[in-house]
Amino acid sequence: MPRVGVPAALDVRIDGKFFQSAAGKRIPVLSDFALRIETGEVAALVGPSGCGKTTLLRLIAGLDPDYKGNIVKPARGRLGMVFQEPRLLPWRSVFENLRIAAPGAAHDDLDALLTAFQLGDCRDRYPGEISGGMARRLALARAFAVEPDLLLLDEPFVSLDAKLAASLREELALMVERRPVTTLLVTHDMDEAITLADRLILLSGRPCGVIADIGISERRGARPPELIAAIRVEAARRLANV
């Protein structure tokens, strides 16, 4: 059953995030970085490798308290996250991995979720016995199983074959359509960002900053190829201007 939740806005302001290099030097990763995502909005973050996208998601998820700034998350919101690698509990079965993350969910709902992500056949297998693509699907299913109010996705479709990635993108679009959730999607794939997101946020290299913030007004799923092409051109132009 679609549940109309009360997802809320995400407000991120990071004055400074540093990492200590092995030589003891302080390396700035994020500085004077600000980002606001409205309730139920899907924002795609696109930026060069190593610019600090994963770091940003970790800060938002509350995994790294060592930064200067302020992050306001949806009040009492459940967090769903897909890490850059699947990160499953290898000693628990596929189904148990879902159940442990979402202890409150009905088993039927979890089974339905497994079916939606084409994992019904390996419900009782261990993560070591399923393929990498299946593990990625399970990580996605787990993020949805908790009925999140804030969804953080770190390159969830990378290294999947094109057909599978496309079907998973569709599944993701369907899920956020059914139950709006404030979503931050990190990706390297411009087309993926343009098809899935309401907003396209282009990032520069270190220290990470926002180059462009392009809103897409047309409804997700109803975007004609010409529009997608036009946005792609626009994004390329903005990237070239830096």
Partner 1 sequence: MARIVSLLTMLACWQAGAGIAGPRLLPAPMAVGAAMLAEARSGALFANLGATLARVIAAFVIAMAIGSALGLWMGRSRLADRLADPWLVVLLNLPALVIIVLAYIWGGLTETAAIAAVALNKLPSATVTLREGARALDPKLDDLAHVFSFSRATWLRHVAAPQLAPYFAAAARAGLSLVWKIVLVVELIGRPNGVGFEIGSAFQLFDVTRILAYSLAFVAVMLAIEIFLVQPFEQHAARWRPSSSRRQN
Ligand X SMILES: Nc1ncnc2c1ncn2[C@@H]1O[C@H](COP(=O)(O)OP(=O)(O)OP(=O)(O)O)[C@@H](O)[C@H]1O
Q: List contacts with ligand X (CB under 6 A).
A: 19, 29, 49-55, 84
Question: For residue 217, what are the contacts with CB-CB under 8 A and spacing of at least 6?
Answer: none
Bridge-based pairing state of the strands 182-187 and 150-154: parallel
Quick one: which of 37, 42, 46, 101 contacts partner 1 (CB under 8 A)? 101
| Residue 204 phi, psi (nearest 5) | -95, 175
150 versus 231: smaller Cβ distance to partner 1: 150
CB of 27 to ligand X, least distance (A): 6
Contact 157, 165 (CB under 8 A): yes
CA separation, residue 56 to residues 25, 29, 94, 199 (Å): 20, 9, 29, 17
CA distance 176 to 38: 14
Q: Quick check: 112 binds partner 1 (CB under 8 A)?
A: no
Q: Quick check: 93 binds Mg ion (CB under 5 A)?
A: no
Stretch that binds partner 1, among 22-30, 44-52, 79-87, 162-170 (CB under 8 A): 79-87
Q: Quick check: 103 binds partner 1 (CB under 8 A)?
A: yes
Q: Where are the alpha helices (DSSP H) in 3-160?
A: 53-61, 94-101, 107-116, 132-145
Quick one: which of 54, 93, 167, 204 contacts Mg ion (CB under 5 A)? 54
Quick one: which of 9, 79, 164, 173 contacts partner 1 (CB under 8 A)? 79
Chain residues binding partner 1 by CB under 8 A are: 58, 61-63, 78-79, 81, 83, 87, 89-92, 96, 100-103, 126, 128-129, 142, 146
Chain residues binding Mg ion by CB under 5 A are: 54, 84
